[in-house]
Structure 1
Amino acid sequence: MLNTKVYNNTIYLRPGLSTTMIRQSSWSGYPDKTEYYNNIIVNHGSGGYTFLGGTNTKFDYNLFYGNHPTSEPADPHKLTSDPLLANPGTALDRHTVDGYLLKAGSPALNSGVLMASNGGKDYWGNSVSASDAPNRGAYNGAGITYSVPFLSDNFNDGDAGGWNVALGPAANWTIVNDGTPRYQGSAPSDDSIVTSGQARSNISLQTRVKSSAMSSDGSVSIVARYTDINNFYRFGYSQASGKWSIWKKKAGAWTLLNSSSPFSYSLNTEYTVRAVLNGNALSLQVDSGSGFITVCSTTDASLTSGLVGLHTYKSINSYDDVIVSPI
């Protein structure tokens, strides 16, 4: 391998991992003139750098942050300050990488070295100039000033990558289209749950939901702090009570924590709902059309962290624009 340039990547290693950050060795011969430019390498684990051969390897204008093993390469224009990634470690697949945008004030903004024949676009479609200094890392846009969610899924890619069936047959969950793609859970006679994301504690979980069928004792819910099928919080509407409610399932036992006033819930009508969990404070909010109102709230310290999920019970419900944000 000769005259290879590796540039404008963002590499992130989370705590607890020991993955090698960069490994260079023989592949039917050792590389010559391999050059690394404008990369952001964040090492919060214990991984190092392995160079088992090769000649004329060069690092320049890279940013190394976090742990700095002795094997970290020299770089005459190295930066070691926090790159201010928007929300790193939150990607579920190649469509959910906004956590690797750069915040305003990032030292990586406009501090790279110009690369010839750079392709003209970054991963997000931002322009990469042929004459001006680029950012370091994969993102070449302006520094952002807004918060990036932990998870955002509108299912417009036509698949449910990142969602895992936790209860019920996988066939219960499909992508449907009623003008836009939606994720439908169909369980006319039983429970069905899907989960996603990483374990989180203090979050806002929001989605748009529409029910096309619901039995007299059915319900539609969103789930938070899910650790397993026997331990999670559920926020949703119950046809039996005619109310929005917050439930807890702890060690397999259900507890109703609080309920709203009676609510007129209509089939084939879309509702935007939000669960907010902040420490032991739990609330369920519904968009009234002029903003969110809290329909019920409670306090409970039984469950402290877990995944988010969607829950269908004796009903058919479709979900869209699932957003999990830090609070």
Structure 2
Amino acid sequence: MKKWLLIAFTLMMVAFLAACGSDDATDANAAKADTKEEAETETVTVAHELGETTFDKNPEKVVVFDFGILDSMDKLGIEAVAGVPQANIPTYLEKYSDAEKYENVGTLKEADFEAIHALDPDLIIISGRQAAMYEEFADIAPTIHMGVDTTKYMDSFTQNMNTLGEIFGKEDQVKEELTAIDTQIEDLKTSVTDEKALIVLANEGKVSAYGAASRFGIIHDVFGVKQADEGIEASTHGQSISFEYILETNPDMMFVVDRNAAVGNDASAKDSLENELVEKTTAYQNDKIIYLDPDFWYLSGGGLQSVSQMVTDIQSAFE
């Protein structure tokens, strides 16, 4: 009898311990699930030119209005792009013009808010061209401004890239890419000569000049190329100039951004720029008029790919 009691007691203890172990395992699994859920809903707060925005880290559906940011997301392998303005997308980013994979959300200056609302994005990224519409974007989804401040180009660009890395957990890759670009720039600086350059934007027969701290001022401010005219006003749209001014300034070299090519106009910058006045300049006579790729310089500046190519373009002018 005592033997049977002992056996029964032993079985009860085994069942009790098994139940306790099961409860512990359940609690442990629940704790792991809670931890995973917390990780999945981790938020990030971005302070930007237009305010401060908090949203979930690693957003899965992002509308991108800045081609420099789109360029960088592409380089980093971030596959969260859901919508872009598909007009005038840079050639090297043309995969984003596929309307079956990416929603067309308007143009750089005129957003299609109905399409964006229907897309229900987790995040919207804008820059200068869309700044005036910030509140309308923010009413739809968390919105951040990530334009490049040309008065401090590399600081602004670096901050944008680090922010992008933080949002998508790509901090290490961003660091590697920025280090590579810094190395490119240092190599370029050793090649730059004392030749003085004039930067111009050609647009349907009209010409504007850009100096330090301007839209294309990175050539002077960061790359170290000397200015042919240090009195050029710093602005986004450039200082309107004449062909007589170009002859009077007589630059050793000219860097030309062709807006016509960027927006699909047929007018040729080369045909209008290389006239009988400009042909008398040192730049023309020494074959030093360099036409910069408008995809990188006009449409998508401030991206990991575009900035790297911009360095390469200027490097080639001194080889």
- Whose helix fraction is larger, Structure 1's or Structure 2's? 2
Q: Same fold (TM over 0.5)?
A: no
Q: TM-score range by the shorter chain?
A: under 0.3
TM norm structure 1: 0.27
- Whose strand fraction is larger, Structure 1's or Structure 2's? 1
